[in-house]
Amino acid sequence: MQMALRLAIKGQGFTSPNPMVGAVVVKDGRVVGSGYHQMVGGPHAEVNAIDAAGKLAKGATLYVTLEPCNHTGRTPPCTRKISEAGIKRVVISMIDPNKDVAGGGAEFLEQQGIRVTTGVCRAQAQKLIEAFVKFVHTRRPFVIAKCAATLDGRIAARSGDSTWVTGEKSRQFVHRLRHAVDGILVGINTVRTDNPSLTTRLPDGLGRDPVRIILDTHLSISPAARLLRQESAADTILVVGKPLMQDKQSALEKGGIRVIQSKLKNGLIDLDALMDQLGAMGLTSILIEGGSRVLTSAFSAAIVDKIFFFYAPKILGGDDGIPICSGPGPELMSQCIKVNNINVRRFGDDVMVEGYIG
């Protein structure tokens, strides 16, 4: 199953809105076939693994990280493929989280006389597809908040300069995060200050760009902004508070930029309502790389599921730099947002804190 999990992650960034899945066929104590779900619309992991095993699949055991599907979607049911191949036993890490199909695949296999075992490495499998799990339950994206800060909690100097807070190894990890998610969200102030591309740049050049989502309440973006001119297969979406400057909006839309309207709350984009809109578009995961105001809004709206906070071994040494969050916070420490299931990693000299909200 560990091998199947390692295979599954190879599909990261390419399978959404489907989950990442890996599968291994074992016969007489020997791996005879393996595969993973490589891209949305393509064959599922079980099919690839069984095809790789060929005739050796008969009488073998199939290890798979997610319950095989028993319904027809973009591809035929994997359960039929398993049964026809003569697999005698299936070991499943986790049952499908979709309540409409959960258990159906395992039940069908048992009806065919195939022994089924579930729950092997379940926690690892669930973490691997945590965005998919949330999306099928809520139809809202899994939201990750990321920031890079000095040890004294500043994401930029008083001038707004944030180049570079963290080191190259941390930045490469963030680009892998961008590749893994469906969308990346920032505010218009980040666009003005940093003029970012918001693309994925990995050493092998194979990274997939996320959809770029810009909170621009008053449609004030400069036509010269770099992200409006990206040669990228991913869309750019400007989120506005109300229809404004129709001529400017029309010009942007003619250039391939999508402009959508969202509700306002206290004069800012209502991020809770926006998550419903983005979920309806099929976006299963969002990485927030915004500045302090956007991060504050995200935590205030209680939309954040997970954090990646990077700390560099640097100290600005003043109180006039830009903090991770800005605006009023709670009066008491007991009212802090709790972060659970903490994992700490090093990237060169940087320290990253990973954790879950709630």
Degrees (nearest 5) of the Cα angle 315, 319, 324?
A: 75
Tokens of residue 264, six digits: 């306002």
Tokens of residue 329, six digits: 């916070």
**Helical H runs in 262-319?**
271-280, 292-300
Active-site residue among 46, 67, 130, 289? Answer: 46
Instruction: Give Dmax over CA atoms of the chain in angstroms.
Output: 69
Host H or E run for residue 236: strand 236-240
Say if CB 257 and CB 229 are below 8 A apart.
Answer: no
Task: With H, G, I as helix, E, B as strand and everything else as coil, classify residue 214.
Answer: strand
- Rounded-to-integer distance, Cα 251 and Cα 259, Å: 11
Find, among 168, 152, 119, the residue nearest to 311 by Cα: 152
Find, among 147, 161, 165, 176, the residue nearest to 291 by Cα: 147
- Rounded-to-integer distance, Cα 293 and Cα 355, Å: 21
Task: Give yes or no: 253 in active site.
Answer: no
Host H or E run for residue 126: helix 122-128
Say if CB 143 and CB 290 are below 8 A apart.
Answer: no
CB within 8 A of 3, min separation 6: which ones?
Answer: 22, 24, 31, 34, 63
Which positions are catalytic?
Answer: 46
